[in-house]
Structure 1
C-alpha cells in the first residue's frame, strides 16, 4: 500500500512512479480469499480421496460409527469453544491500527487472553465429551475399546487449540502462511487414511489419522503465528487485563461462541439425532451427504473469513464508503456462487456418490440434493453475516442464528419421525432458507444506514 511501482518502459528506460491507488477493501478481501483457497483447494481434492477410502473400506455400518464419533466430538468442540480468532481480529485491529505505530502491548494482552480462553474452553469440553461418549456407549452398545478411543479422540480434538493463532495470522494479513498451515489437515488425513486402509481398516485407525491431523495442524499454526508476531507470546503476564482494556470483549466472546455453537453444533447434533432415531447406518449416509454438500460451504466460508478483517478495518478507521462497496460486492459474489451450487449439486450428486463411495451409498442421493440446496443458501449467507460481526452487531447475528437453530430442531422433531433421514434433510433446508432471508434483511438494512452515513 502506497508502495513505489515500476511504470511501463519509455525509450528503453524504466521510471519509478509513486502509486497513489490503494487496493480496495474488496480487492484485499479477494487477495486474502485467494490465499485461503490455495490451502482449501488442495484440501478439497484430498478430502474426496480420504472420504472415499473411509466409506469404501469401513462399510456402511462402521462408517456410521465413525461418523457418530466425529459428529459428537465436533458438536462438543463447537459448544465449548470460543471463536477467538474473531476476537483477535475484532479487538486487535484497533490496537494495531492505532496512530503512532499501534499499541503492540495491548494487542499482546488480547492474544494471551484469547489463548487462555481457548485452553479453559478445551478443559470444559473434555468433561462434556466424557459424558457424551458414555451416553453414546449405552445407547449404541459400543464396546469399551471403541468408547475409550472415541473419548481419546475427543480429547485430542479439543486440546489441539489453534483459533487464537489463526486470528494472529489474519490480523497481520498472513493469509498465505495460514493457507500452508491449513493444508496440513487434509494432507495428514490423506496419508493417515491410506495407512489405516493398508493396516486393515478399522474405526480406530481412522480416528488416529484424524487426531494426528488436528495435532499437526495446531503445531503448524502456532509456529507460523510465533514467526509472524514473535513478541505477542513472549510472556503470559497481563492477559487477564484484556477484558478491562477492551470494553465489550466478554460480550463479543460469548455472542460469537453461541453463534458458532448454533451454526456448527446444531448441524452435527442432527447427525447424532439421525443415528439415535434411525441407526448408525443412516447416520453414516446423512453425514456422507452432509460432508459432500458442505465442501462448497467450507470454501465459501473462506470468503467470509477473508472479508471479516476488511470489514473490521473499515469500521475501525470509519471508512464507510469502502465498507458499503465491500458488502455489496461480497453479497453479489456469494449469491452467484450459492445459486450455482443449488443447481450443480442435484445434477452432479449421483455420479459423485457413485465415484466416491460406491453404489451401496446411492441411497443418500435424495439427502444430498436437499442438503446441497441448503448448502447453496448457506453460501449466500456468508456474503452478509461478516458485515454484522465486523461492525459491532454480533448480537443481531446471534439472534438470527438462535431463531434459525430453533426452527431447525422444531422441524427435525416434526419431520424426522414420519420421514426419517429425509425429514432431517428437509428441516436443514428450511433452517438454511430462513437464516439466509434474515441475514439478507439485516445486512441490507445496515448497508442503507451506512450509505446514509457515508453520504
Structure 2
C-alpha cells in the first residue's frame, strides 16, 4: 500500500472515530428518548408517533438532493488547487439544490399528510398534527453543509449533529414522561430536535467557509453549473439512488403501518432502531470514506481507491458480524430493558434486521466506489430493480407471515443489492482495463 493510501486509511479511521464518539452518545440518547416516548404513550400511540415521524423523514429523503455528494465530487479539485471562485460556484450549486429540496419537501409533506394519512394507518384526528410536523422537512432537506464539513475534514463538528437533535428530544421526552403528555407534545419535541441539529451544522459550515476566506466576493448570481459538466445529471442520479434506499427504511415502516396497523409499525421501527444502533459503528466508515475516494480520484490515484475500499469492507464487515452475534444472544434482553416488556415481540424481527444491516456493511465500499468513479447511474439501476421487487413482495409477505416475514424479505433485498453493486463494479473495472 502506498504512503498516500496509508495516510488515507488513517484519516478514514480517525474521522470515523470522531463520528463514532458523537454517534455512540447519540445512539444511547436516541434509545433513551424513544424509550421515554414508548413508555409514556404505550405501543399503539407510540406507533402513531413513529408513523408521523417516518412519513416526514420519507418525504425529506425522497425530495432531498444529495448536495453533499455534489460538493465532494466537484469541489475536491478546486479546493485542493486553490481555485476559490470555482469552489464557490460548487457551494452555490449545493445551496440551490438544498433550497429546492426544502420547498418541495414541505409542500409534498403537508399535502401528503392530509390526503394519505389514513391510508398509512394514521387515525383521522392525527392528520392535522402530521401536516404541521411536515414543516420540519425544511430542516431535514439541506445537505450542502454536511458535504462542506466532510471536505474540510471537520468530522469532529459533524459528530455532534445528531447528538444535539437527540439531546433536545431526550429533554422533551423527560418532560413528556413526567406529565404524561400526549402524542402532540412528543411531535413538538422531536421536531425541535431536527431544527436544532440543522441550525448547528449550518452555522458550523458557514463559519468554516469564512475562516478559510471562501465567503469573500461570493458569487450568488451567474451560470449555476459553470465548470461542472454533468452536474445536474449527477445530482439527479445521486438523489434517485438515495430515494431508492428509503424503500428499505421509511417505506418499509409505512408499509407495515398500512398493512397491519400502527402498533406493528411501532414494533418494526423499534427493531430497526436497535439494528441501526448495532450496525452504526461500522457504517460510520462510509461518510469518512467518501472524501478520501474523492481526493484520490482528483489526484489520479485510482489504485489507492481500490485498496482503501477493500480494506474498509473487510474491517467493517468483520466488526458488524460480531455485533450480529450480540443481537442474537442479547437482543431480546436489550429490548425488554430499554423499551419495556410490551416491545419484546419485536426481538426476532430485530435480529433479522441486524442480519440485513450486516450484509450491507460487508458491501459498504461498493456504492462509494461507483459514485466516486462517476457512475452513480449504475447504483440507481441496481437499487431500482431491487426496490421494485422488495416493495411488491413486502406487503404480501407481511400480511401472511407477520413482521418476521418482512425481516426475511429485507435480508434478501440486502443480499441482492450487494451482489448487483459488486457485479456493476467488476464490469466497470473490466472496461477500464480493456481500455488501457
TM-score bucket of the superposed structures, by smaller chain:
over 0.9
* Partner residue in 2 for 1:183: 163
* Contact residue 313 and residue 361 of structure 2 kept, 8 A: no
* Contact residue 74 and residue 268 of structure 1 kept, 8 A: yes
Supply the distance in 2 between the matched residues of 1:176 and 1:452 (Cα, whole angstroms).
42
TM-aligned CA deviation for residue 299 of structure 1 = 3.5
* Partner residue in 2 for 1:119: 99
Supply the distance in 2 between the matched residues of 1:399 and 1:298 (Cα, whole angstroms).
26
* Contact residue 109 and residue 239 of structure 1 kept, 8 A: no
* Partner residue in 2 for 1:48: 31
* Contact residue 119 and residue 159 of structure 1 kept, 8 A: no
Supply the distance in 2 between the matched residues of 1:62 and 1:81 (Cα, whole angstroms).
29
Supply the distance in 2 between the matched residues of 1:96 and 1:173 (Cα, whole angstroms).
12
Alignment match of 1:430 (pick from 403, 406, 412): 412
Alignment match of 2:316 (pick from 319, 334, 339): 334
* Contact residue 367 and residue 425 of structure 1 kept, 8 A: yes
* Partner residue in 2 for 1:289: 271
Alignment match of 2:238 (pick from 252, 256, 278): 256
Alignment match of 1:87 (pick from 70, 76, 82): 70
Supply the distance in 2 between the matched residues of 1:120 and 1:329 (Cα, whole angstroms).
37
Alignment match of 1:150 (pick from 124, 127, 130): 130
CA distance change for structure 1 residues 433 and 341 in 2, over 3 Å: closer, same or farther? farther
Deviation digits for residues 79-109 of structure 1 (CA, Å, limit 9, x no counterpart): 11111111111110021122xxx21111111
* Contact residue 68 and residue 280 of structure 1 kept, 8 A: yes
Supply the distance in 2 between the matched residues of 1:234 and 1:160 (Cα, whole angstroms).
28
Supply the distance in 2 between the matched residues of 1:235 and 1:197 (Cα, whole angstroms).
50
Alignment match of 2:306 (pick from 324, 327, 346): 324
* Equivalent runs, 1:329-368 vs 2, <5 Å: 329-368=311-350
Supply the distance in 1 between the matched residues of 2:63 and 2:96 (Cα, whole angstroms).
14
* Count, aligned residues: 431
Deviation digits for residues 107-140 of structure 1 (CA, Å, limit 9, x no counterpart): 1111122112111111111221123211344444
* Equivalent runs, 1:9-408 vs 2, <5 Å: 24-98=7-81, 102-139=82-119, 140=121, 142-144=123-125, 146-230=126-210, 231-233=213-215, 237-238=219-220, 241-408=223-390
Supply the distance in 1 between the matched residues of 2:54 and 2:142 (Cα, whole angstroms).
19
* Partner residue in 2 for 1:3: none
CA RMSD in angstroms, aligned pairs only? 2.3
Specify the SS of the correspondent of 1:300.
Answer: helix
TM-aligned CA deviation for residue 184 of structure 1 = 1.1
Specify the SS of the correspondent of 1:105.
Answer: helix
Deviation digits for residues 55-95 of structure 1 (CA, Å, limit 9, x no counterpart): 11110100110111011111111111111111111110021
TM-score by length of 1: 0.88
**Where do 5+ consecutive residues of structure 1 fail to align?**
1-19
Q: Which has the larger radius of gyration?
A: 1
Deviates more, 1:229-238 or 1:407-416: 229-238
Supply the distance in 1 between the matched residues of 2:4 and 2:265 (Cα, whole angstroms).
53
TM-score by length of 2: 0.92
Deviation digits for residues 166-208 of structure 1 (CA, Å, limit 9, x no counterpart): 1111111111122233431222222121122123232112111
* Contact residue 102 and residue 142 of structure 2 kept, 8 A: no
CA distance change for structure 1 residues 240 and 85 in 2, over 3 Å: closer, same or farther? farther
TM-aligned CA deviation for residue 23 of structure 1 = 5.2
* Contact residue 49 and residue 190 of structure 1 kept, 8 A: yes
Specify the SS of the correspondent of 1:135.
Answer: helix
TM-aligned CA deviation for residue 445 of structure 1 = 5.3
TM-aligned CA deviation for residue 141 of structure 1 = 6.1
Supply the distance in 2 between the matched residues of 1:342 and 1:328 (Cα, whole angstroms).
21
**Where do 5+ consecutive residues of structure 2 fail to align?**
none
TM-aligned CA deviation for residue 260 of structure 1 = 0.7
* Contact residue 247 and residue 387 of structure 2 kept, 8 A: no
* Contact residue 279 and residue 323 of structure 2 kept, 8 A: no
TM-aligned CA deviation for residue 318 of structure 1 = 0.3
* Partner residue in 2 for 1:8: none
CA distance change for structure 1 residues 22 and 418 in 2, over 3 Å: closer, same or farther? closer
Deviation digits for residues 209-243 of structure 1 (CA, Å, limit 9, x no counterpart): 11111111111111111121115456764456242
